Structures are given as C-alpha cells and as structure tokens.
Amino acid sequence: MSTSLVSLASLVNAFNPVTPQLRVAAIIARNNQILLVEHRKRGQHYWVLPGGRLEGLETLDVALRRELMEELSLEARVGPLVIVSEMLAPDRHVVNLMFHAEIGEGAEPRLDRADPVLAGWQWVSTDQLPRLDFRPPIADAVREVIAERFAGPVKVLGDTWRS
C-alpha cells in the first residue's frame, strides 16, 4: 500500500473513530417468558437479552456460549439466528445478532457478581416487554419470533437507536 493511501486511511479514522462492534445475544424462552439480564451502566438501569461482544477469533456460537457461561453460569445450545438489528448512536455502532438458545429444563442462572454492570436477571413474560426499558427496543420482533417458534425468516430490523 502506498504511503499516501496509508495517510488517507489514518486521516479518515481520525475523523470517524467509531469501529462497529458485534454483539451476540440469546433469546431463551420458557413458558411464555424469556430470560433477561438487568444492566446498570452510565447511571442507567435497563434490561437486555443475555450475551455480549465477540472476542478475538471466536465464532458467533462460541462467543454466545462463553457469554452465557460468564454472565449467568449457563450452558446452552445455540440455535438459529432469528433477529439482526443495529444501533447507530453518535458515539458507537453495534450490530446485534440474536439467536434462539436453549438451556436445560432445570437450569437456573447464577449471576456473575464480579461484573459491576450485571445487576440481576429475571424470567419476564413477553407481554411485559413493551413496559420495560428493554434494549435494543425490539419487543415486537422478539414476540414474533417466539410466536413463530423460531422457524420464520431472520428479522432484519435496521437501526434501533433512540436518544
């Protein structure tokens, strides 16, 4: 690569330092409820699907299983990709890949108390999702994929960011 192209690439990165990040998450359903994790960060409390960011040379499946084990001490079988969304905030760009996942019938989550972001977990009725601060705000899509028994086409939602 020529020096001028390297300099141009450096200049572009200097003005646009946001690097897109991939986040994998699990939709774990049980008796019309899904497993959610409460996050506390930047002075806010909100609910998310369990999961997290990819690390290094992980596959999506490996990353999601690692995140479920780290956050909740859960072993899971990762199923199909069911929802894709993006969050294009002024300071970050996150691509969310949500998979159907299953845990054993008697498996109970155990929260990683060493992680200051993790505030709790709860089985939540899908009817309650619209009333929660659920991020990204994809309650309708989650309810649809559950109603389809995770057999429908992947739902691509686009940018879900809200200020």
Say if 42 falls within a structural domain. Answer: yes
Number of domains present in the structure of the chain: 1
Residue 124 contacts residue 34 (beta carbons within 8 Å)? yes
Residue 67 belongs to some domain of the structure:
yes
Whether 5 is in a domain gets the answer no
Domain membership of residue 110 (yes or no) is yes
pLDDT at 3: 53
Three-state SS for 65-98 is HHHHHHHHCCCCEEEEEEEEEEEEECCEEEEEEE
pLDDT digits (tens, 9 = 90+) for 62-104: 999 999 999 999 999 999 999 999 998 888 899 999 999 999 9
152 is in which domain, residue-wise?
Answer: 18-159
Q: Does any domain span residue 125?
A: yes
Residue 9 lies in a domain: no
Residue 22 belongs to some domain of the structure: yes
- Length reported for the chain: 163
Q: Round to whole Å and give the CA distance between 153 and 148.
A: 9
How confident is the model at residue 15, as a pLDDT?
62
**What radius of gyration, in Å, describes the C-alpha atoms of the chain?**
17
The helix or strand, by DSSP H or E, that contains position 146, with its residue range, turns out to be helix 139-147
| CATH code of the domain containing 79 | 3.90.79.10
pLDDT digits (tens, 9 = 90+) for 98-139: 999 999 988 999 999 899 999 999 999 999 998 999 999 999
pLDDT tens readout for residues 18-58? 788 999 999 999 988 999 999 998 889 999 999 999 998 99
pLDDT recorded at residue 163 = 77
d(CA 2, CA 87): 34
